[in-house]
């Protein structure tokens, strides 16, 4: 069983479904409103646990009802929460999501996720060093990503950096990560609009560019490979990237090849979009293997 540590955000997703997005200054009537657990870090933790990994989450929630719900949800999904701390004087992070016209748009208010600092992460150092792989994203402070890249590198623990949401990252962090998984937009921010094929060549078997329905692209040291995604009827694409990252990490930690790990992750991500909510469609191991 793979031992995985996820360092990142835990948020409550406030999801409005509507037939279209309002224009600037316009008010429209929506169809439904729901609150569901989300946050890129928490989503990746739940996805990896459902796929059978031993998962420790390192993160912060607020001292409010949303925070309590998020911790309950971790427990229900068998994610260890020894390093998920309620920060009593602040609110839980929230993601304000509009689902319309077949896609989502999201505004994240980080709240307690701002408290996932290097000093806070230090408390989980022992668990981090024993992990087969560590996952991190960017809804937490930049210095934490830099710190985690440093300790993972120093302790020979592979780090998967999911650079979402997009922001520039130092070359040192890029060098220290074992895997980097931007989508096309995040890749253009990360590599300053550099031609993506050149960027892929610079980081063989490390840079994986996710292209949504198209699949996932990487350079294997000799040729560029596109591993196609699976066609499904999408209900809600929120969390598909998180499912991909978690499933890829599980497969790599179990010793699968790069290509097989991407295939496994593409399958998991495709299943995740068939139900509502970031975590609603995240599949179990049996569901993924049943489809492969």
Looking at the Cβ atoms of 39 and 163, the one nearer to ligand RIB is 39
Radius of gyration of the chain from its Cα atoms, rounded to whole angstroms: 18
Do strands 54-62 and 159-161 pair parallel, antiparallel, or not at all (unpaired)? unpaired
Of 36-44, 65-73, 111-119, 246-254, the segment contacting ligand RIB by CB under 6 A is 36-44
Helices 258-272 & 240-253 angle (0-180, nearest 10):
150
For position 39 contacting ligand RIB by CB under 6 A, the verdict is: yes
- The residue whose Cβ lies closest to ligand RIB is 38
The answer to the question of residue 95 lying near ligand RIB (CB under 6 A) is yes
**Are the CB atoms for 271 and 198 separated by under 8 Å?**
no
CA 209 to chain centre: 14
The question of whether 242 is a catalytic residue gets the answer yes
- Side-chain half-sphere exposure of 43, counting CA atoms within 13 A: 30
Q: Write the CA distances from 172 to 131, 148, 161, 168, integer angstroms.
A: 22, 12, 13, 12
By CB under 6 A, tell whether 267 contacts ligand RIB.
no
Stretch that binds ligand RIB, among 71-79, 167-175, 236-244, 262-270 (CB under 6 A): 236-244
The upper half-sphere exposure of residue 181, i.e. CA atoms within 13 Å in the direction of its Cβ, equals: 28
Binding residue (CB under 6 A) for ligand RIB from 15, 99, 258, 278: 278
Smallest separation, CB 6 to ligand RIB (Å): 13
Name the minimum Å distance from CB 108 to ligand RIB.
5
Q: Which is nearer to ligand RIB, 239 or 283 (CB)?
A: 239
Q: Which positions touch ligand RIB (CB under 6 A)? A: 11, 13, 38-40, 43, 95, 106, 108, 139, 238-239, 241-242, 278
Query: Which positions are catalytic?
Result: 242
């Amino acid at each position: 069983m793979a031992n995985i540590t996820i360092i990142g955000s835990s948020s409550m997703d406030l999801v409005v479904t509507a037939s279209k997005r309002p224009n600037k200054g316009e008010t429209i009537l929506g169809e439904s409103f729901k609150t569901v657990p989300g946050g890129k870090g928490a989503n990746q933790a739940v996805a990896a646990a459902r796929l059978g990994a031993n998962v420790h989450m390192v993160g912060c929630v607020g001292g409010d009802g949303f925070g309590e719900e998020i911790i309950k949800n971790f427990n229900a999904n068998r994610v260890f929460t020894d390093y998920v701390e309620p920060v009593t004087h602040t609110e839980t992070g929230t993601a304000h999501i509009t689902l319309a016209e077949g896609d989502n748009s999201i505004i994240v208010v980080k709240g307690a996720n701002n408290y996932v600092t290097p000093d806070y992460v230090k408390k989980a150092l022992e668990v981090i060093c024993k992990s087969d792989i560590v996952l991190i994203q960017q809804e937490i402070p930049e210095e934490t990503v830099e710190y985690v890249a440093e300790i993972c590198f120093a302790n020979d623990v592979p780090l998967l950096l999911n650079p979402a949401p997009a922001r520039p990252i130092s070359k040192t962090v890029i060098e220290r990560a074992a895997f980097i998984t931007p989508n096309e937009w995040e890749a253009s921010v990360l590599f300053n609009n550099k031609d993506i094929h050149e960027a892929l060549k610079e980081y063989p078997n490390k840079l994986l560019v996710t292209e949504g329905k198209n699949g996932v692209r990487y350079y294997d040291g000799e040729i560029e490979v596109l591993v196609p995604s699976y066609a499904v009827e999408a209900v809600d694409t929120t969390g598909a990237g998180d499912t991909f990252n978690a499933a890829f990490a599980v497969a790599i930690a179990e010793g699968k090849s790069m290509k097989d790990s991407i295939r496994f992750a593409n399958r998991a991500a495709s299943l995740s979009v068939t139900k509502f909510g970031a975590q609603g469609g995240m599949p179990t191991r049996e569901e993924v293997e049943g489809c492969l």
